Chain A
Amino acid sequence: MAEEETEHGQVNIKDIHWLMDMLQSIDVGLIVLNRDYKVMVWNSFMENHSGVSPALIKEKVLFDIFPSIPKEWFRQKTESVFLLKSSTFTVWEQRPYLFKFKNYRPITGSADYMYQNITLIPLASADNKINHVGVLIYDVTDIAVNKLKLEEANNKLESLSKTDHLTQLNNRGAWEGYLEKEFSRSKRSKHQCSVVMFDIDHFKKVNDTYGHQAGDEVIRRTAALLKETMRITDIAGRYGGEEFGVILVDTTAEAALVFTERLRKRIEAEIVEYEEFKIKFTISLGVSELAEDCNDYKLWLEQSDKALYVCKESGRNQSKIFSES
């Protein structure tokens, strides 16, 4: 019986030795802190990446040895573990790292510093009180870098799929998407919002007389002047061939008309030089302010189109506000 117990006891101690060895060599940082943020356990991962030995940091306040740790942030997380006796997790998206560990792999290292996920766990004493917190530091550099790269690529793709190649304005799909969004936003917030549709007068003639490339240059110049004239918060798009749309947020029809007139005059004064040609052109613009009873963004857009049509009918090179009559 006694022999069995010894046997059993030895196995346990051996088990613990093995476990300790593995805790030392695991690629995860392990720290135990007491209530005063003094370090009680500091494993090899922490030693090797920080260059601070357990002997040096043991019983020392963590923040004294690592002043670069965001103290308030870390305290807040830790105190909630003590208070609620519940683990808490942070991800690299919140803060890239808690400890600034430099990249240690010359070939496969993918970032300058190690990205870290952190788990804080309550550690109970024998009396079931939580007097210590366990901190687990995971190296997630590769995951983080891959995700960031993927996000960047996706953003680029998304922006490409939304942009009109010739003018670098929003393309029709993207612009209509914004229009729909602004429509619901203005409805909800009861803010004024106006939409402008305009096109280049007799554009077909420009193309026929000077060629398509000259036509492209006219469109490009129109877009450039539009960008210069509008506010940064306004949203412009190329709606069709020579047709453009602009969403003017927080803007009444009257204020929008000031904008359209300014743009119209700038374009009227512009001369596009293409090869030996000096091309002069004009635009017509229709304005519609979002009305309370308008329940569809398409209807709203249609109204500005109708105002544009009225301009065309009454001689072009002008801008008008939509009216029901």
Chain B
Amino acid sequence: MTTQVLICDDSSFARKQLARALPNKWDVELSYAANGAEALDLIRKGKGEILFLDLNMPVMDGYQTLENILKEDLPTMTIVVSGDIQPEAMKRVKALGALEFIKKPVDGELIVQILNNYGIDIEETRDAADELDANLEIDLDDSYQELANVAMGRAADLLARLLGAFVVMPIPNVKHIEINELEMAMQHIKSNDSISAVCQGFIGSGVAGEALLIFNETSYDDIAELMKYDGEVNETAQLELLMDISSVLCNACLNGIADQLDVSFSVGHPMVIGQHIHFDDILKGSATQWKKLLTIEMGYKIENRDINCDLLLLITDDSIDSLNDRVSYLLV
């Protein structure tokens, strides 16, 4: 009997990655949805006996989708597939009725194991995965976004453990910009916001760039409280907090990307660009020969707190070929 399987993820790259990870010998009809609302429609039409559900999506995210499935009592078994690997995220989706929680990038063997646990028969065969490729065009930006999403999830997990709080992960934002457009590429930073910034260079296997952590200064008191920092949150204390956060975020994110690409980066010592500065101060004193950059913006927010920081990966133009090369292996 053919099983109706629905893959719901805003990233076409992630949809493809998951479709490929499904067991070959499983008789399924696959459907795809790019957000929760689309998924609900398809489930109502009987297209989603089993649902693989991403959490961070526009329009309707995974949590809302699960809520609606519960509310309407829709006939589907949901397996959450997420880059957000915080234990708290896992707890929340289980409470909303998800059967399992798989971290990205997905592991095919784990899927088989889970399906077997639920007594799902995957003995019958279906044709090779080639048919999938035709209706699943991916673009490169989409794959960078997914790459960042997974890396960001790992960083969020560490940050959550460092702060003992839940980190809200928005969708990473991929852009190709000229260096002087950097300010425009940033979504939530206003030009007269007072910020602090730390930069850390990385290079390896032909991929190079800098991770730039931008910290909104209104966040310091809350951060100090979460990190149980005693004493006055003066300039030195702020720098301590900034360095602690940037060490964790930059490292985890760069390691996350390196692991997925199967490379290892040499990472330079972080540089404090400044405290109490404006965004346009960041490029002061920069004499870069890199005019064009690939930027991936990852905003982190702490739930119920006024804490905002942005991790921006700035990847040099001459890294793109190596990067694309590596990214293409992710689907093999």
* Chain A residues close to B by CB (< 8 Å): 77, 80, 83-84, 86-91, 93-94, 117, 119, 138
Judge whether B252 and A91 touch: CB under 8 Å: no
Q: How far is the CA of A235 from the CA of B144 in the complex (A)?
A: 51
User: Counting CB contacts under 8 A, is B294 at the interface?
Assistant: no
In the bound complex, CA of A117 to CA of B161 (Å)? 25
Q: How far is the CA of A172 from the CA of B247 in the complex (A)?
A: 43
Chain A residues whose C-beta falls within 8 Å of the C-beta of B246 in the assembled complex:
89
Give Cα A84–Cα B244 distance, bound, in whole angstroms.
12
Q: Is the CB of B236 within 8 A of A89?
A: no
Contact assessment for B269 and A84 in the assembled complex, using a CB-CB cutoff below 8 Å: no
A91: chain B residues at CB < 8 Å are: 239, 243, 269-272
22 contacts across the A-B interface (CB closer than 8 A): A80-B162, A80-B244, A83-B161, A84-B161, A84-B248, A84-B252, A86-B158, A86-B247, A86-B248, A86-B252, A86-B255, A87-B247, A87-B267, A88-B243, A88-B247, A88-B248, A89-B247, A89-B269, A91-B239, A91-B270, A91-B272, A93-B272
The distance from the CB of B271 to the nearest CB of chain A, in whole angstroms, is 8
- The docked-state distance in angstroms from the alpha carbon of A91 to that of B243 is 8
Q: How many residues of chain B have a CB within 8 Å of chain A?
A: 20
Contact A90 B251 (CB under 8 A): no
Residues of B262-306 at the interface with A, using a CB-CB cut-off of 8 Å, are 267, 269-272
Partner of B270, one of A77, A83, A84, A89: A89
In this assembly, does B240 line the interface, its C-beta being within 8 Å of a C-beta of chain A? yes
Most B Cβ at <10 Å: residue of A77, A83, A86, A94: A86
Cβ contacts under 8 Å, A89 to chain B: 200, 243, 246-247, 269-270
A119 to B252, CA, bound (A): 15
Cβ contacts B210-252/A at 8 Å (1 or 0 each)? 0000000000000000000000000010011001101110011
Residue of B nearest to A90 (CB): B243
Q: Could you tell me if B236 and A84 are in contact, using CB atoms closer than 8 angstroms?
A: no
User: Cβ of A94 and Cβ of B236 under 8 Å apart?
Assistant: yes
Closest chain-A Cβ to B156's Cβ sits at a distance in Å of 12
Would B240 and A94 count as touching, CB distance under 8 A? Answer: yes
Contact of B244 among A88, A93, A119 (CB under 8 A): A88
Query: For B243, what are the chain A residues with a Cβ–Cβ distance below 8 Å?
Result: 88-91, 94
Contacts A80-B162, A80-B244, A119-B269 given: A87-B236 contact, CB under 8 Å? no
- Once the chains are docked, how many angstroms separate the CA of A84 from the CA of B249? 11
Write out the residue numbers on chain A whose beta carbons fall within 8 Å of the beta carbon of B248.
80, 84, 86, 88
> In the complex the two chains form, is B162's CB within 8 Å of A84's CB?
yes
Query: In the docked arrangement, what's the CA distance between A84 and B162, Å?
Result: 8
Q: Which residues of A contact B255 (CB under 8 A)?
A: 86
* Complex Cα gap A12–B168 (Å): 48
With CB as the reference atom, state the residue of chain B lying closest to A84.
B158
Closest residue on chain B to residue A87 by CB atoms:
B251
Give chain A residues whose Cβ lies under 8 Å from the Cβ of B269.
Answer: 89, 91, 117, 119, 138
A88→B251 CA distance, assembly (Å): 8
Q: Could you tell me the distance in whole angstroms from the C-beta of A149 to the nearest C-beta in chain B? A: 15
Centre residue among B161, B200, B243 by max chain A CB count within 10 A: B243
- In the bound assembly, the distance between CA atoms of A60 and B144 in angstroms comes to 48
Q: Known A86-B158, A138-B269; judge A93-B251 contact (CB<8 A).
A: no
Q: Known: A86-B252, A88-B247. Contact between A93 and B161, CB under 8 A?
A: no
Residues of A within 8 Å of B272, CB to CB, are: 91, 93
Question: In the assembly, what is the distance between CA of A83 and CA of B244, in Å?
Answer: 13
Whole-angstrom CA separation of A83 from B252 in the bound complex: 13
Alpha-carbon distance A287/B122, docked complex (angstroms): 84
11 more A-B contacts (CB under 8 A) besides A88-B248, A119-B269?
A: A77-B244, A83-B161, A84-B158, A86-B158, A86-B252, A88-B247, A89-B269, A89-B270, A91-B239, A91-B269, A117-B269
In the bound assembly, the distance between CA atoms of A138 and B243 in angstroms comes to: 17
B28-75 residues at the A interface, CB under 8 angstroms:
none
- Nearest A residue to B239 via CB reads A94
- Least Cβ–Cβ distance between A150 and chain B, in angstroms: 10
In the bound assembly, the distance between CA atoms of A93 and B275 in angstroms comes to: 11
* Docked CA distance A240–B243 (Å): 45
Please give me the 9 A-B residue pairs with the lowest Cβ-Cβ distance, nearest first: A88-B247, A86-B251, A89-B270, A84-B158, A89-B247, A87-B251, A117-B269, A94-B239, A93-B272
Task: Give the Cβ gap from B123 to chain A, nearest Cβ, in Å.
Answer: 36
A93 to B271, CA, bound (A): 10
Q: Which residues of A contact B162 (CB under 8 A)?
A: 80, 84
Residue from A89, A91, A119, A138 whose CB has the most chain B CB atoms within 10 Å: A89
